[in-house]
C-alpha cells in the first residue's frame, strides 16, 4: 500500500518521531553513500505557487540521493493552461515519476492528487491548510537547538496565525508532545483558527493570546515569526492594515535569554530586521539547511528505501 505525506494530522507521535530519527541517520551518512540510495528513481515537482526553499530542497534532496527530477514551477507553462484538471494532471505525471511533490493554492489539492495517483504524494503546501514537510524540519530544528523536544517547551507563534499553513501544521504536531505552552501573538484579525485548539491532542497543551511581541520574547524558548500572507487576503486593504504589525529587531532581543531561538519558515518580508541575523538568537538559516536532510528522509521513507 503506498503512503503519502499530506497532513500532519494523518501522523501519530511515533511516526513523527520516526521521521526525525530517520533524518538524523541521513544527516550522519557520508555524501558518497547517499548518492547510491535512489538511482533510477524520479521525483516530479508540481508547483502551482511560488517557492524557493521547498522546491529546491526537494530537488536537491533527490539529486543528492542519486535520483532525478522532472516537473514545473509555473503551471502556466503546462496543459493546465489549456484547462486540464488537477486529477488528470496527476494521472499523467504519475506515469513519469516514482514520487510527486505538489504545492497548490487550493486547500485539499494535495489530497485530491494523492487519491488520483498510485505513487506517493507529498504536500508542499495547500492554500492556508497544511505544510507537513516544513513542520518536520521545524521540529528537527527545535530538537537540535534544545537537545530534544522536551516537555514544557514555550513557543511564541507570531504574525499571521490565520492564514499561515506552517503554523497550522506546527501547532498540530507540537500539541502531540506533552505540555507545550503556546503564546499566540497576532493582530486581532489574524488569530489562530479555533479548530486547532479543540483537538484531543491540543488538550495537553496550553494556549494564551497576546498582541505584545516584547512579552513573547521574555517568556519563550522559541519565537516563531511568520510573514503576513498577502496572497491569502480576500481584501488587500485589510492586508495593508496589518502588514507591518510585527517587526523583530536586534534591539528588542537585548537582554533576552541566551537560549532563545528565533525561527521563521521564510521568506521574510519585514517581520525580522536584518540585524537579527547577527545575533546568537537567529536560527532561521540553520532551519532552512535542515530542510534538506528532513526531505531526504521523507523521500527515502515513502519510497521504502533504508537510509
Ligand atoms: N518555507 C517555505 O515554504 O518556503 P518557500 O515558499 O520558499 O518554499
Say yes or no: CB of residue 227 within 6 Å of ligand 1: no
> Looking at residue 56, what is its pLDDT?
98
Is the distance from the beta carbon of residue 120 to the nearest atom of ligand 1 less than 6 Å?
A: no
Residue whose C-alpha is closest to residue 271's, from 143, 134, 156:
156
Distances (CA, A) of 83 to 73, 76, 80, 116: 17, 10, 5, 18
Phi, psi angles (nearest 5°) of residue 12: -90, 170
Counting ligand 1 atoms within 8 A of each CB, the residue from 266, 285, 292 with the most, and so the one to mutate, is: 266
Q: For ligand 1, say whether the CB of 112 is within 6 Å of any of its atoms.
A: no
- Nearest C-alpha to atom 4 of ligand 1 is from which residue? 53
* Percentages of the chain per state (helix, strand, coil), in multiples of 5: 45, 15, 40
Residue-level pLDDT at 178:
77
What's the confidence (pLDDT) of residue 199?
81
pLDDT in tens, the chain (307 residues): 899 999 999 999 999 999 999 999 999 999 999 999 999 999 999 999 999 999 999 999 999 999 999 999 999 999 999 999 999 999 999 999 999 999 999 999 999 999 999 999 999 999 999 999 999 999 999 999 998 887 789 999 999 999 999 999 999 999 998 789 999 999 999 999 999 998 877 888 999 999 999 999 999 999 999 999 999 999 999 999 999 999 999 999 999 999 999 999 999 999 999 999 999 999 999 999 999 999 999 999 999 998 8
C-beta separation of 233 from 206 below 8 A: no
Number of the ligand 1 atom closest to the C-alpha atom of 124: 3
DSSP secondary structure code for residue 79 in this structure: G
pLDDT of residue 200: 74
Distance 54 CA to ligand 1 centre (A): 5
44 strand-pairing partners: 70, 100
Q: Whose CA is nearest to atom 3 of ligand 1?
A: 54
Residues with Cβ within 8 Å of 14's Cβ and at least 6 positions away in sequence, in order, are none
Write down the pTM of the prediction.
0.96
Residue 44, helix vs strand vs coil: strand
Helices (H), the chain: 13-28, 31-34, 53-64, 86-93, 109-116, 132-146, 165-174, 213-219, 236-242, 284-302
Q: How far apart are CA 104 and CA 55, in angstroms?
A: 12
pLDDT value at residue 201? 78
Amino acid at each position: 500500500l503506498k503512503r503519502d505525506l499530506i497532513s500532519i494530522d494523518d501522523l501519530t507521535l511515533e511516526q513523527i518521531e520516526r521521521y526525525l530519527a530517520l533524518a538524523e541517520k541521513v544527516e550522519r551518512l557520508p555524501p558518497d553513500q547517499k548518492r547510491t540510495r535512489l538511482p533510477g528513481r524520479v521525483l516530479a515537482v508540481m508547483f502551482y505557487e511560488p517557492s524557493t526553499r521547498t522546491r529546491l530542497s526537494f530537488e536537491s534532496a533527490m539529486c543528492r540521493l542519486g535520483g532525478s527530477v522532472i516537473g514545473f514551477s509555473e503551471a502556466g507553462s503546462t496543459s493546465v493552461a489549456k484547462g486540464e484538471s488537477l486529477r488528470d494532471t496527476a494521472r499523467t505525471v504519475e506515469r513519469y515519476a516514482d514520487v510527486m511533490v505538489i504545492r497548490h493554492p487550493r486547500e485539499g489539492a494535495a489530497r485530491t492528487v494523492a487519491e488520483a495517483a498510485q505513487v506517493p504524494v507529498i504536500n508542499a503546501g495547500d492554500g492556508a491548510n497544511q505544510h507537513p514537510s516544513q513542520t518536520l524540519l521545524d521540529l528537527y530544528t527545535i530538537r537540535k537547538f534544545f537537545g530534544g523536544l522536551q516537555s514544557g517547551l514555550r513557543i511564541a507563534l507570531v504574525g499571521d496565525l490565520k492564514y499561515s499553513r506552517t503554523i497550522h501544521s506546527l501547532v498540530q504536531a507540537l500539541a502531540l508532545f506533552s505540555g507545550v505552552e503556546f503564546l499566540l501573538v497576532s493582530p486581532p484579525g489574524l488569530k489562530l483558527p479555533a479548530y486547532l485548539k479543540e483537538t484531543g491532542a491540543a488538550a495537553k497543551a496550553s494556549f494564551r493570546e497576546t498582541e505584545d511581541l516584547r512579552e513573547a520574547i521574555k517568556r519563550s524558548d522559541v519565537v516563531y515569526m511568520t510573514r503576513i500572507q498577502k496572497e491569502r487576503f480576500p481584501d488587500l486593504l485589510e492586508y495593508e492594515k496589518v502588514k507591518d504589525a510585527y517587526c523583530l529587531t536586534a534591539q528588542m532581543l537585548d537582554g533576552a535569554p541566551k537560549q532563545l531561538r528565533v525561527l521563521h519558515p521564510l521568506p521574510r518580508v519585514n517581520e525580522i530586521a536584518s540585524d537579527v541575523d547577527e545575533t546568537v538568537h537567529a536560527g532561521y538559516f540553520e532551519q532552512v539547511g535542515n530542510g534538506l536532510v528532513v526531505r531526504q528522509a521523507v523521500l527515502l521513507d515513502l519510497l521504502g528505501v533504508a537510509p
